[in-house]
Chain A
């Protein structure tokens, strides 16, 4: 407990730590926080680069807590985002569910890599979910919003590292408290 926590010494330890189930409270709180960040009054260029915090948290828990967080939660989270972003009901839901499916299928593979390589995998998933949204909206008759649209999936993937670090912290603290 004496030396400060560095992200570097987290990753080798982390996979082990996360075998302990995270508390439901933490999972719930992380979703509320992610949703809160999503519904800040983003607009203009900020909106184009708004990272999809909710998708990040969904992916994180589906990788580390696959028994409790799956496609059903993703579906309902998506519906909530559709309503609050005033989109057609079901768009976010579909995009999230597809990304979650990818995470479930590649779960073991993704978890064998350290964070930088994991980020690349997450980038693939966020791009897929972004493309789903884009195609759906183009089908509905919207104009192509420009390539700035793809900034958001990239920013989302870049935040994978920080999100990992933040969501690991409570579990690591608990473990250190238990061993020392």
Chain B
């Protein structure tokens, strides 16, 4: 520390220590406001709007490289992909026809009971710009935002399953928190027997935990989890994960179940943002914070209680 202070000839403003105290308090206040009350979303939006041109310039070279690589990509690979896709279309057309039939049937039934369909008809296709540059969380940034009517809480899927949930929206981009993010929970059920559970991200690449499954629960390797739809965020029936290991040890109250996310959570180029599921049953009581992630946690907590 420098003990000597300069003579007070010149106006120098507050001392470094005073400034440090002031800015530390300001930073802590900001963090609390952001973390506890989510009060700074407008600040975030405005700041990200300011930084947008530079971000665009920064991501331009890699994007251009990617496009160039795509342009010169192997004829072979394209043909193989094409034939693969064609067979998949054939495979799926039967299912699609059946789905059309089922949908008509469902519409008929819904009409009779005067309820609304839980399924949304359309989504927004978005391109993944980059992984969020944050070593602590698992998020991706997509190229659609407020301009395309994206809002926080919307589920995001790709061709094979649930990718995650929109958690932050800017003007031109939004952040999607992946299902593998620590404590990101999705209410799921097993396709085979309808057993309900909550899939919770582990924070590691390609792994999802399913906590609080009783040792006696009927669950085995290869079981497929789909969204159960009871949270009103994800429409029911989207594939979330496949069970990769079940550790049933009688010494513990719960079985240790680990699953692998179905969607290419870490390597997709295009994803689809679904509109929020049509209003489910009203929630029992209004709570203070309505942020989607928090709400997911609350629901998970609520489910654990008898």
Contact = CB atoms under 8 A, between A and B. Distances in A.
Interface of A: 32, 35-44, 47-48, 50, 70-72, 74-75, 78-80, 83-91, 93-94, 97-98, 101, 104-105, 108, 136-137, 140-143, 145, 149
A50 B133 contact: yes
Interface in B38-54: 40, 43-44, 47-48, 50-51, 54
B168 A86 contact: yes
24 contacts: A35-B54, A37-B58, A39-B51, A39-B55, A39-B58, A41-B58, A71-B20, A74-B23, A75-B26, A79-B47, A80-B50, A83-B44, A84-B48, A85-B132, A89-B31, A90-B26, A90-B30, A91-B27, A93-B23, A94-B23, A101-B17, A105-B16, A140-B35, A149-B135
A123 to B, nearest CB: 20
B117 interface: no
Contacts of B54: 32, 35-36, 39
Contacts of B129: 41
A105 B168 contact: no
Interface of B: 1-2, 16-17, 19-20, 23-24, 26-31, 33-35, 40, 43-44, 47-48, 50-51, 54-55, 57-59, 62, 129-137, 139, 141, 168, 175, 182-183, 203
A163 to B, nearest CB: 19
Contacts of A83: 44, 47-48, 51
Contacts of A105: 1-2, 16
Nearest to B175: A86
A60 B96 CA distance: 62
A142 B182 contact: yes
A84 B137 contact: no
A93 B182 contact: no
Contact of B34 (A47, A70, A88): A88
B20 A89 contact: no
A36 B121 CA distance: 40
Given A86-B175, A98-B24, 10 more contacts: A36-B54, A39-B59, A71-B16, A85-B132, A89-B34, A91-B31, A98-B20, A104-B16, A137-B136, A142-B137
Nearest to A32: B54
Q: Give the dominant DSSP class at A's interface.
A: helix
Contact of B27 (A40, A93, A149): A93
Contact of A89 (B24, B40, B135, B136): B40
A141 B55 CA distance: 29
B171 to A, nearest CB: 12
Given A89-B43, A137-B136, A84 B27 contact: no
A35 B52 CA distance: 12
A40 B182 contact: no
B22 to A, nearest CB: 8
A42 B29 CA distance: 29
Nearest to B20: A101
A101 B1 CA distance: 11
Contact of A70 (B19, B33, B62): B19
Contacts of A104: 16
